[in-house]
Structure 1
Amino acid sequence: MKKSIFIIVLLFSSIVSFATETKIIVRAKAKDAKFIGSSLGGAYVIIRNKTNNRILAEGKTIGSTGNTDLIMNIPKERGNSISDEQAAKFLATIDIVEPTFIIIEVISPFNNKQAQSKVSTELWLIPGKDILGDGIILEIPGFIIDILKPRTHNYIALKSIKNKPFEIKANIVMMCGCTINKGGVWDSENIEVKAILKKNGSYLKDVTMSLTETNLFEGTIKLTSAGQYELIVYAYNSKSGNTGVDKVNYVVYE
Structure 2
Amino acid sequence: MTRPLQLIVAIAACLIPIPCLAIPATEMPPLDLRLNDPTPTTILVRVVAHGSMVLGKEVGGARVTITDVATKQILTTGIQQGEAGDQNQIMRTPRLMEEPHYSSRPAAAFTATFDLRYPTLVEVTADGPLAYPASSQRASTTAWLVPGQDMTNDGIVLHLYGYIVQIEHPKPHEPLIAKDDVMLRASVRTLSGALVRPHGDWDSRKTHIYGELMIGDRVLERLQLFYSGENAAFEAPFFVPLPNDAPDGITLRVIAADPANGNVGIGQAKYPVLSERLRHNSSRTEPR
Q: Do both share a fold (TM > 0.5)?
A: yes
Match of 2:266 in 1: 245
Secondary structure at 1:217 match in 2: strand
The answer on 1:60 being equivalent to 2:79 is yes
Q: How many residue pairs get matched?
A: 236
Partner of residue 99, structure 1: 119
Structure 2 residue 242 is the aligned partner of structure 1 residue 225: yes
Larger RCO: Structure 1 or Structure 2 (Cα < 8 Å, ≥ 6 residues apart)?
1
Displacement after TM superposition at 1:190 (Å): 1.6
Q: C-alpha distance in 2, partners of 1:70/1:224?
A: 49
**Equivalent residue in structure 1 for 2:214, among 162, 175, 198:** 198
User: Is residue 2:146 matched to residue 1:126?
Assistant: yes
Q: 4+ runs of 1 displaced by more than 4 Å? A: none
Name the aligned partner's letter for residue 119 of structure 2: P
Structure 2: stretches of 5+ with no match in the other structure: 1-32, 276-288
Which amino acid is the alignment partner of residue 189 of structure 1? Answer: R
CA contact (8 A) 1:173 1:215 kept: no
Distance 2:184 2:211 in 1: 8
Q: CA deviation at 1:215?
A: 4.3
Cα deviation digits, residues 142-174 of structure 1 (max 9, x gap): 10111122232222232xxx3x42111112101
Is the CA contact 1:193–1:208 (under 8 Å) kept in the aligned structure 2?
yes
CA distance in 2 between counterparts of 1:85 and 1:170 reads 32
Alpha-carbon distance between aligned partners in 1 of 2:172 and 2:198, rounded to the nearest angstrom: 28
Alignment of 1:27-176 (within 5 A): 27-82=46-101, 83-158=103-178, 162=179, 164-176=180-192
| Aligned residues of 1:195 and 1:232 also touching (Cα < 8 A) | yes
Structure number, greater radius of gyration: 2
Tell me how far 1:194 sits from its aligned partner: 0.7
Give CA-to-partner distance per residue, 1:225-248, whole Å, 9 cap, x none: 122211111001122221100111
Do 2:55 and 2:62's aligned partners in 1 also have CA atoms closer than 8 Å? yes
* Kept in 1: contact 2:48–2:159 (CA 8 A): yes
Q: Secondary structure at the match of 1:189?
A: helix
Contact 2:86-2:105 within 8 A present in 1 as well = no
Identity over the aligned pairs, expressed in percent? Answer: 28
CA distance in 2, matches of 1:223, 1:105: 43
- Mapped partners of 1:150, 1:179: distance in 2: 20
8 A contact 2:176–2:240 mirrored in 1: no
State how far apart, in whole Å, the 2-side matches of 1:26 and 1:125 are. 13
Q: Distance in 1 between matches of 2:160 and 2:264?
A: 11
**C-alpha RMSD of matched pairs (Å):** 1.9
Query: Per residue, is there more strand in 1 or in 2?
Result: 1
The normalised TM-score by structure 2 is: 0.77
Task: Look up the SS of the partner of 1:34 in the other structure.
Answer: coil
The corresponding residue for 1:11 is none
Q: Is the 1:66–1:84 contact (alpha carbons within 8 Å) kept by the matching residues of 2?
A: no
Three-state SS of the structure 1 residue aligned to 2:195 is coil
Deviates more, 1:123-132 or 1:64-73: 64-73
TM-score, normalising length: structure 1: 0.87
* Structure 1: unaligned runs, 5 residues or longer: 1-13
